[in-house]
Amino acid sequence: MTTPNELRLLPWSGPGDKPCYLSTDDVGGHMSRLADTIEAVQLGMAAELLEMAAVTLDDEDTDPIELRRLGRALTGAVKDVLRIAVSRGHRVAADPHRT
């Protein structure tokens, strides 16, 4: 039986916003590489959004509508980054070669 720490939480959701998991020993397999690529894109987008947020928040003339858009975008980015952190934490905990 596969334990939750042996499953990889994928960086996307399934129907009903439910988490998707991958069960494989092949870290170089197609789905693992796809998940790695998506995680890298999500982290890059979060970093860019953080830079944009700093500029937007420093501008005293920023429209309240723009601030709400920024808040929604930041919320989505934090959700993505948190999912990646949880996934990586589970994989580290499940690694039998970890010292």
Listing DSSP states for 55-98 in one string gives HHHH-TT--HHHHHHHHHHHHHHHHHHHHHHHHHHHHHHH-TT-
pLDDT band at 1 (very low <50, low <70, confident <90, very high): very low
Give Cβ neighbours of residue 4 (< 8 Å, ≥ 6 apart): 90
92 vs 4, higher pLDDT = 92
If one compares 41 and 24, the residue with the highest pLDDT of the two is 41
Of the two residues 22 and 95, the one the predictor is more confident about is 22
Better-predicted residue by pLDDT, 6 or 30: 30
Q: Are 93 and 5 in contact (CB under 8 A)?
A: yes
Would you kindly state where each structural domain of the chain is located, as residue ranges? 26-94
pTM, rounded to two decimals: 0.81
Mind giving me the DSSP string for 24-50? -S-TTSHHHHHHHHHHHHHHHHHHHHH
Give the model confidence (pLDDT) of 55-93 as tens digits: 999 999 999 999 999 999 999 999 999 999 999 988 777
